[in-house]
Structures are given as structure tokens and as C-alpha cells.
Amino acid sequence: MASTADFKNGLVLSIEGQLWQITEFQHVKPGKGPAFVRTKLKNILSGKVVDKTFNAGVKVETATVDRRDATYLYRDGSDFVFMDSEDYEQHSLSESLVGRLADFLLEGMKVQIAFNEGAPLYLELPVTVELVVTHTEPGLQGDRSSAGTKPATVETGAELQVPLFINTGDKLKVDSRDGSYLGRVNA
């Protein structure tokens, strides 16, 4: 159990049998009336985000989430296989659990897997990943109809928008949260 005073970003709450992670919170003390806490909660399984208000001092049930370091090994059909960095146990995560993060997974990549009572909840990648461009059309200087970007395919098969000066074979720094181009990595 946790009080609203214990709220912090990343804390996982168990509300009505579902797991919700606090993404934002704000303590509010109005001039009149009791204090309260305004939160943004993200459902761990569905990804749905909701706003919820708690009265100050209310006790809320928390869930134990164990984040473990792991290494991505390989893809086995529709599952992704990871090895725990501490006990070397292998964990298979389903395609639905990994979701769009599969676009940025490379063999040997260090990740974190969150578990609740032994069941995997979600996967966390590093915020930035380095990927090599496997295909992109040559950029035409002076072509500004597309705001100076063009599509490029990276080694994981994902397609993202990159500046015109990027060529096939370039190594890029990509934000794994939204797939946006951050910069080129100098070799």
C-alpha cells in the first residue's frame, strides 16, 4: 500500500485488478477545500492513458514490479527470446507484448523486462538505439517539397524519415520511443 504522498513517476498501482503506471502526477492544494493529487495513469497491458484524481492521504494498493536486465537473443516464430543477465534464464516474450519495439531490436541488445509475480509485463529499450541504413533513395539537393526528409529502411526492417543527406550504410541514432531520427553516428 502507498499513500498519495509516496507517488512518483514509474510507480505501478493495482486498481480494480488492473496494473496502472503513474506517468505524471501533481499535488494540488486549492485555497478552499481539501488537497488532492491529479495523476496520469497508463495501463501496463493495453497502453491506455487515463486521468485520475485521488484525495490527499488516500491509500492505494501498489504492485511489485521487478525490472530485470536482459539481452535480446533471437526471434523464434512470433516470439522474441531474451536472456536474463543475472541468472542466464531465457524468457520468451510474445509479439503482442513487444509490439512496435520490435522495429528497433537488434541481436545482443541490452534491454529491461518488467515482471509482476513472474509474468512479463512490458519491455523497455534504451532511449536511443544505433541502426544502420540498409536502403534509401539518394537525396536530391534542392528538393524541399518533403520538408527535407526522405524514407529510409534500417537493418531491423523499420522505415523512418531521415534528412536528405543520409545515405545507405550510414549509422543513425534513433529514438526508440517514437522512431524519430536523432542524428548520424560518426564511425
Q: What is the CATH number of the domain that holds 31?
A: 2.30.30.30
CA distance 65 to 178: 24
Q: What is the CATH number of the domain that holds 92?
A: 2.40.50.140
**Do 135 and 112 lie in a common domain?**
no
Cell of 52: 485520475
pLDDT score for 90: 87
| pLDDT over 80 (residue 180) | yes
Q: Are 9 and 25 in contact (CB under 8 A)?
A: yes
Where residue 145 falls among pLDDT bands split at 50, 70, 90? low
User: Residues 70-94: pLDDT tens digits?
Assistant: 998 988 888 889 898 888 888 888 8
How many structural domains comprise the chain? 3
| pLDDT over 70 (residue 142) | no
Bridge partners of 22? Answer: 41
Write out the chain in H/E/C secondary structure: CEEHHHCCCCCEEEECCEEEEEEEEEEECCCCCCCEEEEEEEECCCCCEEEEEEECCCEECECCCEEEEEEEEEEECCEEEEEECCCCCEEEEEHHHHHHHHHHCCCCCEEEEEEECCEEEEEECCCEEEEEEEEECCCCCCCCCCCCEEEEEECCCCEEEEECCCCCCCEEEEECCCCCEEEECCC
pLDDT score for 165: 82
| pLDDT over 80 (residue 16) | yes
**Do 20 and 32 lie in a common domain?**
yes
pLDDT score for 139: 66
**Structural domain that includes position 80:** 66-124
User: Residues 53-75: pLDDT tens digits?
Assistant: 988 888 888 888 888 899 989 88
CA distance 43 to 24: 13
**Do 50 and 33 lie in a common domain?**
yes
**Do 108 and 138 lie in a common domain?**
no
CA distance 119 to 73: 19
> Of all residues in the chain, what percent carry a pLDDT higher than 90?
4
Provide the greatest CA pair distance for the chain: 63
Closest CA to 23 of 6, 3, 43: 43
